[in-house]
Structure 1
Amino acid sequence: MFFSNDPLFRRIKRSTGRAIGDFNLIEEGDRIAIGISGGKDSYTLLHALEALRRKAPIRYELIPVTIDAGFPGFRSDVIKGHLQEHNLDLQVEMTDCHGIIEQKLRPGTSFCAFCARLRRGALYSLADRLNCNKLALGHHLDDFIETLLLNQFYIGRLAAMSPKLLADNGRHTVIRPMVYVEESDISSFSQRYELPVVDCSCPMAGQGDLKRQRMKELVNELAAENPHLRGSILHAMGRVEPRHLLDRTLKQF
């Protein structure tokens, strides 16, 4: 990899490797499907995991996969071309998420949330066919923090993401190895090496999740005052003290 000696990439790779060790994300003989959306996060995850795999003391396989949701204009060929430049093969799964959404989306239901569920189901099905026992996703530190705040502010519960979680189907383990990697580092890496970011071509693209965007702005505002904010919140997620909370299922009052 031509960027393997870049200090920025080494920092990303080191943080990813630390998360793998801390949460036992990758084990001997794993066959891991990596969801490649064409965005900066999934590209960065793939390159970090591939660099780590080459020097790992254990044997495991990485299988990059892309779900084509059927939106006109989606350029899976651009993703495939980038991976071929790095001697990696891409599995593309063609779906009709677009048509299903148009037919079955109920009024008032989130377009993006429905699409995400359909894509995730397609990922699980593809992982089954490829005999993968794990699915790696490109969520980073900021995603964990924003999800925590969204759940507190809008749902009324203390929950974020888990770096390692058994899927609802009971067959696959979802891993998020970039839990320690800040989005700013991923953005810098993507821009520095001009990673070919591909738009999903969704008709709702650009509208985004306004609540998540507000959480992102809030974190950036607070981080300007406290540079250690992200690390502090991440540390808090791993240091839960039930006796100082109100959950009656965790504590007898």
Structure 2
Amino acid sequence: MNQTDNRKETLEYNKLQKRLRRNMGNAIIDYNMIEEGDVVMACISGGKDSFAMLDILLNLQKAAPIKFDVVAVNLDQKQPGFPEHILPEYFQSLNIPYYIVDKDTYSVVKEKVEEGKTTCGLCSRLRRGTLYSFAETIGATKIALGHHLDDIVETLFLNMFHGSRLKAMPPKLRSDDGRNVVIRPLAYCREKDLIKYAEYKQFPIIPCNLCGSQENLQRQSIKAMLIDWDKKTPGRVDAIFKSIQNISPSQLADKNLFDFVNLPLDREGERAEYAFTEATVSSTNIDESMFIDVTNV
């Protein structure tokens, strides 16, 4: 690689890093994800997304106008062949506080789920319960997960296609019992940027052998659909994400979200300006005297 190529690569990396930092910073501000004095438990799986989240979060921490702590936590689910030394060594190289939490969810999932069936649902529930409990144990006030914009949009379509629900992943979520707050600092970041960032940073990525090896998962099908859409119409996935930030309950059909039953007609107030206020009647068999003189209303 010559000097020109090196300069070009460095420029591209700097632009990518700034874009990811800006997107994460904006998401944190927009949803008030991190506050003064917070202890943020950054959940690190060993995948590219959680590595990137931790890396960018630590950089933002240095420049943030507020003080907060970051604690890295990995849940070792006891998958066969999992390289247990990689994450402790990585965390120590960063000189940050960390915990490796042992919980054999692998055996539970393999016992409960039939061979060939999707394990992700049960696996995520077991993982979530363990992390929620541990966050309380160490006094963490926020639980940071590495889900990005593409994950959120994929989840939206998964729920629509396979669950008949208009539901995604919120950038910030309070648990049902109110005891934990989950944040997704990468909510504005695209996966394609995170892939490039992981390549630049050379994170010691650990593949998930529990669910990553299963073929034809529903999420993979949705992912392929969205990638194809984004290729044909660049910006479509970003537009879909923006749509879940701009919801009009009255334009959907959820009776629990909007009161469609009680919508009384009210013509007493000031009329809104319509695009067309006059129309010419060319033919009728109705006595026009039956109409109200709207010019006097």
1:57 equivalent in structure 2:
65
> How big is each residue's C-alpha offset from its partner over 1:194-252, in whole Å with a ceiling of 9 and x where there is no partner?
111012342x4311562111111111111112111122111100111112111112132
Q: Classify 1:228/1:107 alpha carbon distance in 2 versus 1 (closer, same or farther; 3 Å).
A: closer
2:222 corresponds to which residue?
215
Deviations 1:89-144 (A, max 9, x none): 32100112123234444789642211111111111121111111110000000001
> How does the TM-score come out when normalised to structure 2?
0.79
Matched, 1:45 2:76: no
Q: What is the rounded CA distance, in whole Å, between the counterparts of 2:79 and 2:115 in structure 1?
A: 20
Counterpart of 1:92 in structure 2 is 100
> In structure 1, how many angstroms separate the alpha carbons of the residues matched to 2:113 and 2:233?
42
- For residue 87 of structure 1, report the CA deviation from its aligned partner: 2.0
Q: Residues 36-77 of structure 1: CA distance to partner in whole angstroms, max 9, x if unpaired?
A: 000000000001111111111111111100001111211232
The amino acid across from 1:226 in the alignment is T
Aligned to 1:170: 178
- Residue 204 of structure 2 aligns to a residue whose secondary structure is coil
Tell me, yes or no, if structure 1 residue 244 matches structure 2 residue 251.
Answer: yes
Indicate the structure (1 or 2) with the bigger Cα radius of gyration: 2
Aligned match for 1:230, one of 232, 237, 240: 237
Q: How many residues align?
A: 249
For 2:158 and 2:216, how far apart are their aligned partners in 1? 11
Q: Where do 5+ consecutive residues of structure 2 fail to align?
A: 1-10, 262-297
Alignment of 1:180-219 (within 5 A): 180-202=188-210, 204-207=211-214, 210-219=217-226
Q: Is the partner of 1:91 in helix, strand or coil?
A: strand
Secondary structure of the corresponding residue to residue 135 of structure 1? strand
1:14 paired residue among 2, 13, 22: 22
Assess, with a 3 A threshold, how the Cα gap between structure 1 residues 64 and 222 changes in structure 2: closer, same or farther: same
Structure 2 counterpart SS, 1:76: coil
Instruction: Report the Cα distance in structure 1 between the residues aligned to 2:186 and 2:150, rounded to whole angstroms.
Output: 10
Unpaired stretches in structure 1, ≥5 consecutive residues: none
Cα distance in 2 for residues equivalent to 1:237 and 1:41:
22
Distance 1:220 1:106, change over 3 A: closer
| Greater relative contact order structure (CA < 8 Å, 6+ sep) | 1
Match in the other structure for 2:43: 35
C-alpha separation between the residues in 2 aligned to 1:209 and 1:41?
Answer: 22
Measured in 2, the distance between the counterparts of 1:194 and 1:107 equals 34
> Are the counterparts in 2 of residues 133 and 171 from structure 1 also a CA contact under 8 Å?
no
Aligned to 2:82, the other structure's residue is in SS state coil
Alignment partner, residue 132 of structure 1 = 140
Q: Distance in 2 between matches of 1:6 and 1:86?
A: 21
CA distance in 2, matches of 1:214, 1:154: 12
Aligned residue type for 1:19: A
* Aligned partners of 2:118 and 2:217 also within 8 Å: no
**Could you state the TM-score of these two structures normalised by the residue count of structure 1?**
0.92
Aligned-partner residue type, residue 219 of structure 1: L
Alignment of 1:148 with 2:156, yes or no, is yes
Counterpart code for 1:227:
P
Identity of matched residues, %: 37
1:106–1:220 CA distance, 2 compared to 1 (3 A): closer
Q: What one-letter code is carried by the residue in structure 1 that aligns with 2:80?
A: P
Question: What SS does structure 1 have at the residue aligned with 2:101?
Answer: strand
